A and B are shown apart, each in its own frame.
Chain A
Amino acid sequence: EAQLLESGGGLVQPGGSLRLSCTASGFPFSRYAMSWVRQAPGKGLELVSGNSASGDRRSYAESVKGRFTISRDNFKNTQYLQMNSLRAEDTAVYYCARGDCSGGRCYSGFDIWGQGTVVTVSS
């Protein structure tokens, strides 16, 4: 069974840093694009960042450009989200998701999701 498991969330002060991890199992991780999606309290879903299967094509929401970095280790079946200069508005549940995407285009939706990890930015 394909699964994703996020970790690394927690409470951090404004201006601080946090690294989220997402470990995959049950499917060939290196064949799939991966993304991070968040939902702030009372808000909708926001695509934070996406990464191609090989890790060479990355995209970011305008709200996190220059502060967040997505990466992946296909040998460890794990993707990461390095979050720097955190702000109160980054407080959210962060989900890891799998997509069948190549060349920047997706040929199916995000069909596998993790359970989410909570990030709280507060002093």
Chain B
Amino acid sequence: DIQTTQSPSSVSAFVGDRVTITCRTSQSIGSHLNWYQKKPGKAPSLLISMASSLQSGAPSRFSGSGSGTDFTLTIRSLQPEDCATYYCQQGYDTPWTFGQGTRVEIK
């Protein structure tokens, strides 16, 4: 199975700060990398697919980049409603594994 590793496990930042989360896979997956936002008591929500394609309805302050084995999710200007846990997921080969998550908090 492809291993998917995120860092950091948690991040605390001020409103308006730029936040960056990284995801690394154990083998090259091209651009088959997705990012999700998960809030307590709610289903996950797809933010970005295929490494950089922003989902309809997702705020434009979210962006994704990368290819091969190294990927990044960036929140350009952190907002209070962005407090959540973020997960990457590889879609290159089954099983479509998730990273362990990054919890984003407001200072």
Q: Report whether B44 and A111 are in contact in the complex, using a CB–CB cutoff of 8 Å.
A: no
Q: Report whether B95 and A45 are in contact in the complex, using a CB–CB cutoff of 8 Å.
A: no
Closest chain-B Cβ to A103's Cβ sits at a distance in Å of: 10
Binding stretch for chain B, among A11-19, A24-32, A59-67, A78-86: A59-67
Within 8 A of B (CB), among A92-123: 95, 97, 99, 101, 104-111, 113-116
Knowing A95-B43, A106-B34, A113-B44 are in contact, say whether A47-B91 is a contact too (CB < 8 A). no
Interface size bracket, B side: 20 to 34
Enumerate chain B residues within 8 angstroms of A37, measured Cβ to Cβ.
44, 98
Knowing A62-B1, A109-B34, A110-B34 are in contact, say whether A45-B94 is a contact too (CB < 8 A). no
Binding site for B on A (CB under 8 A): 35, 37, 39, 44-47, 49-50, 57, 59-62, 95, 97, 99, 101, 104-111, 113-116
Interchain CB contact (< 8 A) of A95 among B44, B48, B87, B99: B44
Q: Report whether A110 and B46 are in contact in the complex, using a CB–CB cutoff of 8 Å.
A: yes
Q: Report whether B95 and A59 are in contact in the complex, using a CB–CB cutoff of 8 Å.
A: yes
Enumerate chain A residues within 8 angstroms of B99, measured Cβ to Cβ.
44
Supply 8 further A-B pairs (C-beta < 8 A) apart from A47-B89, A108-B49.
Answer: A39-B38, A47-B98, A101-B96, A105-B92, A106-B32, A107-B50, A107-B91, A110-B44
Beta-carbon nearest neighbor of B33 in chain A:
A109
Does B36 sit at the interface, judged by CB under 8 A?
A: yes
Q: Mark B32-65, 1 if CB is under 8 A from A, else 0.
A: 1011101000011110111001010000000000
Interchain CB contact (< 8 A) of A45 among B44, B48, B55, B92: B44
